[in-house]
Structure 1
Amino acid sequence: MKKIAMILAALILVILGAFWFLTGGALNDLIKQQIEQVGTKVIEQPVTVNTVDMKLLEGAGTIKGLVLANPSKYTAPSVFSLDEVTLDINLESLTTDLIIIDKIVIDKPQAFVEFTENADANIKDVLDTIKKNTASNNATEPASQNTSAATKEPIVRVNKFVLAGVALTVDLSKLGNKAHQAVLTDINLTNIGGEKGMPASQLGTELVKQALSAIWQQAKKQQTKILKDEAKKKLEEKAKEKLGGLFDKLNG
């Protein structure tokens, strides 16, 4: 009888341990660690996270204080940072082979894009590094999907990914201009991972890549507009100077 009681007590401890892992503590620490380690390896710059709070039983999660450091040859401390990411997880999908995240919202992130004299930019360098370090993912994906059920990596799809109110700084100081600020309209991306989803280890990188790509496209548009406006302004000023000189001659 005593032996049975000890076995039951051990089982309860195991169950409680698993429950704690799935609802907080260990899972949060693991996700934080994975974001920092994988992120740093992929972009070759420090990636840090403040806190992770996953509530799988409620189908929700929050990641706070994520920062992607700027490559060392640039001046700003970060290329991308955010206060909070919220996740809406499809609870029914947690029991299937395809985990579905209905929506991820990054609210009011900050992006700092520095252009150089030769038309390079920090965000472009980061994207190039990501592409270089993930070039072999497609080749290895089939193998990861064919592994045994015990070791099979979770496959995930994100239905909607929203970058809300991105605070963008476009720094053209090295082009003889200055830093300009703008708040972008919301960027909405859909079906990240495709219909079949992708391995969880690749999903975070894909989200970062698509987010930075969308911001990079907006930054290039801002750069073009700013430089065109500056060129137009200088032409108008020169025209006024010439007209002023002409009027001075006529009235002299």
Structure 2
Amino acid sequence: MLRWLGILVGVIVVLAVIAVVVVTQRLDGWVKDGIETYGPQYTGVAVTVDSVSLSLLSGRGAIRGLRVANPDGYDGDYAMQVGRIEIALRPLGVLDDPVIIDVIEIEGAEVHAQSRDLRDTNLQVILRNVRAATPPPAEDEEAAGPQLIIERFTLTDTEASVTAARLGAVAVRVPDIELTEVGRRSNGASIGQVLQQVLEPLIAVVLTSMAEGRVREQLEERGEELRGRAEEEADRLRERMRQISPF
């Protein structure tokens, strides 16, 4: 009897190992499909990923070639592009509820902000889409999808360009961004809530730079206007002096 029990336990262990191996092998594809499926539902634009590598046992992984397309009416293939995203969570942590992610590190992202008028940009359109697709917190708890806690999120060495009417394309400096305990207070946040908390400071920084660029542009235009008037007045004074002077 004990022999058969031992064999049964051995078979169960083998099947469990096989299941873990299969899940691990397919996990990368599932994550990639999830990003490309749920991303557009929240952002309202195409979201694509080149590849995903995530180890279920070690809890470490990377997302390569993440691109967020532009909304309709804006030029260019994408609004944001990230070459590589590093992720670390506890082993088998993707099975937890909520899923606790220790670290998400994004380095060298490219952001391209465009303004069609003085009030709207492609980044604001994307953020509005995320907000519209995210139910209020009370409803969000019952919404399908995993709840997330991100202990530490960093965005460093970001390159950004701003394109606006009369301003042209201008490179702007984006300060590094660090967020901690995202979703911790509510014991988990939905995908939409996490996207909002990550996108809002990034977009705020870029739009501030855009606004500063417009102010500089207006000051320069005003300066040119005043300089032109001063030169005209100087010419008039010189002409009067020539008429008055006996020399």
Q: TM-score range by the shorter chain?
A: 0.7 to 0.9
Matched, 1:20 2:18: no
CA drift at 1:187: 0.8
After the TM superposition, which residues 136-151 of structure 1 pair with which residues of structure 2 at under 5 Å, given as runs? Answer: 138-142=138-142
Q: How does 1:1-252 map to 2 (within 5 A)?
A: 11=12, 14-22=15-23, 24-91=24-91, 97-117=97-117, 119-135=119-135, 138-142=138-142, 155-173=147-165, 176-198=166-188, 202-203=190-191, 205-252=192-239
Contact in 1 for aligned 2:130/2:195 (Cα 8 Å) = no
Residues 94/207 of structure 1: CA separation in 2 closer, same or farther (3 Å cut): closer
- Superposed displacement of residue 143, structure 1: 7.4
- CA 1:12 to 1:242, structure 2 compared with 1: closer, same or farther past 3 Å? same
Whether the aligned pair in 2 keeps the contact of 1:163 and 1:211 (CA below 8 Å) is no
In structure 1, the gaps of 5 or more residues are: 145-152
AA aligned to 1:75 is D
For the Cα contact (< 8 Å) 2:61–2:86, is it kept in 1? yes
Deviations 1:29-76 (CA, angstroms, capped at 9, x unpaired)? 111111111112222221111111112322311111111111121112
Q: Secondary structure at the match of 1:191?
A: strand
- TM-score w.r.t. the length of structure 2 is 0.83
Give TM-score, length-normalised by structure 1: 0.81
Instruction: Classify the secondary structure of the residue corresponding to 2:73.
Output: coil
Q: Structure 2: which 5+ residue stretches go unaligned?
A: 240-247
What secondary structure is seen at the aligned counterpart in 1 of 2:119? Answer: coil
Q: How large is the RMSD of aligned CA atoms in angstroms?
A: 2.9
1:14 to partner: Cα distance: 2.6
Identity %, equivalent residues: 21
> How much has 1:184 moved relative to structure 2?
0.8
Matched residue SS, 1:198: coil
The number of residue pairs the alignment matches comes to: 236
Larger Rg: 2
Match of 1:56, SS state, is: coil
CA 228–212 in structure 1, closer or farther in 2 if over 3 Å, else same:
same
| C-alpha spacing 1:96/1:247, structure 2 compared with 1 (3 Å) | closer
Q: Contact 1:85–1:107 at 8 Å: present in 2 too? A: yes
User: One-letter code of the match for 1:56?
Assistant: L
* Post-superposition CA distance 1:205-240 (Å, at most 9, x none): 333322321122112211221111111112222222
CA contact (8 A) 2:167 2:213 kept: no
Distance change >3 Å, CA 118–CA 230, structure 1 → 2: closer
8 Å contact kept, 2:108–2:158: yes
Give the letter aligned to residue 19 of structure 1: V
Q: Which amino acid aligns with 2:158?
A: V
Letter in 2 for 1:233: E
Per-residue deviation, 1:139:
0.8
CA gap 1:177/1:154 in 2 versus in 1, 3 angstroms: closer
Looking at structure 2, the residues matched to 171 and 46 of structure 1 have their Cα atoms a distance apart, in angstroms, of 21
Q: In the aligned structure 2, how far is the partner of 1:164 from the partner of 1:68?
A: 18
